[in-house]
Amino acid sequence: MHHGIKSGYSNYRGWLEENDPDLYERLREYYDVDDDEWWWQFEQSLGYPDMSDYIEQTAFENEPDFGSDDFRDRDYHAGQIQAEDEIGGLVQEIRDSFTEWVASLSFPLSDKKISLDQDDAYFINFNYTDTLQRVYNISDENVLSIHGNVAKGTDLVLGHNRTYEEIDTEYVVELPEPPADLDGAELAEWYDNHSDDGEDYIHQSVRGEVVSQISSLRKNTSGIILANKNTFESLKDVKHVFVYGLSFSPIDTPYIDEVISHNDKNTVQWTVSYLTEEDLAKEQAYFKLKRIKASLVSYVKLDELLLVKEEEIPFETK
């Protein structure tokens, strides 16, 4: 964004409205939210769909007619198959459209270059572009595009950070509790009268499939870290970490946690950029939580680094 690329999630929203209005409307339907904050936190928002009505309606529409001569065992799975097709299709379309949008982004503006110390440096790139290579002439060997690179044709990684269990708890139908003063025959009669209040197999299978598809949109940060174990372990001798343009979303902070775990937190220097005062407060809270001494962390705006480069104006860090 600093380099003039309109790559914010709000830009993706605008692109969807123009290029894939059908997907845009389905996102509004299934998530029942369309405000600016939802789109600003797009990845995290993907883990909070409003699927209760969908589950109930799909289960109702696919309740088998057990008394019919046409009933077959496969009818038990009709609701699950429908959910797999519709919600699974939604998940795939999100991935496909997101990749198409990233591929359509403009080239970075070279006049927005900041001063980067490239000597003996290694870069972990959290976005999907090759701005580091295009603008700063950094070789591919010194860049880990941890979420994929659209220019290289690799799969792009996006998603929320919620587990299957966390999502599932929102849709489980709990049996009602009987009144505390019932016992014996009264209690048995109460349970008999409420035996249909629970969740039948059709409902369970639809819910399970919906939750499975939504949870497949989870960004597997632990798996990505494990796949790049050697890279993270090689950071043990790092003396200075620069973090530029990262939002410190809870989805991505596990990567920063991993960097911290492989070097001396009492000596490593940090330089961290921020855009707004809210960003600054969030970053300061993060490093305080990680027990990194405040004297080891400097906070700066990218535009200040630009001024340092072009006009050699000294700046003060907060």
Separation CA 107–CA 5 (nearest Å):
7
Q: How far apart are CA 89 and CA 26, in angstroms?
A: 11
Task: Judge contact between 262 and 239, C-beta under 8 A.
Answer: no
Q: What values do phi and psi take at 113, rounded to 5?
A: -60, 140
What is the rounded distance in angstroms from the CA atom of residue 55 to the CA atom of residue 215?
15
pLDDT for 313: 44
- Cα 211 from chain centre: 16
- pLDDT at residue 66, rounded to an integer: 59
Percent of the chain with pLDDT strictly greater than 70? 86
Q: What is the pLDDT of residue 203?
A: 83
Residue 208: which of 173, 240, 235 has the closest Cα?
Answer: 173
Distance of CA 199 to the CA centre of its chain: 30
The confidence score (pLDDT) of residue 167 equals 94
- Is the per-residue pLDDT at 196 higher than 80? no
Residue written as token pair 């789109």: 39
* Mean pLDDT confidence for 108-128: 88
Residue type, 276: T
Name the least confident of 45-54, 150-159, 239-248, 305-314.
305-314
- 256 C-beta neighbours (distance < 10 Å), count: 19
Whether 317 has a pLDDT exceeding 50, the answer reads: no
d(CA 282, CA 284): 6
pLDDT tens-digit map of 23-62: 999 999 998 887 888 998 999 999 999 999 999 999 888 8
In the predicted structure, residue 175 carries a pLDDT above the cut 60:
no
The Cα 148–Cα 133 span in angstroms is: 14
More confident residue, 315 or 307: 307
Average pLDDT over residues 140-150: 95
Q: Tell the burial category of 188 from Cβ atoms under 10 Å away from its Cβ (0-12, 13-18, 19+).
A: exposed
CB 115 within 8 A of CB 305: yes
Structure-token pair, residue 13: 């929203």
Q: How many helices (H) and strands (E) does the chain have?
A: 15, 5
| DSSP designation for 276 | S
pLDDT at residue 199 greater than cutoff 80: no
Q: How far apart are CA 72 and CA 66, in angstroms?
A: 9
* Mean pLDDT value across the chain: 87
Q: What is the DSSP string of 120-182?
A: T--EEE-SSS-HHHHHH---GGGEEETT--GGGTPPPP--B---HHHHHTTT--PPPPPPTT-
Residue-level pLDDT at 147:
96
Q: Predicted confidence band at 318 (pLDDT cuts at 50, 70, 90)? A: very low
**Residues 56-84: tens digit of each pLDDT:** 999 888 887 656 666 666 677 888 999 99
pLDDT in tens, 204-249: 889 999 999 999 999 999 999 999 999 999 999 999 999 999 989 8
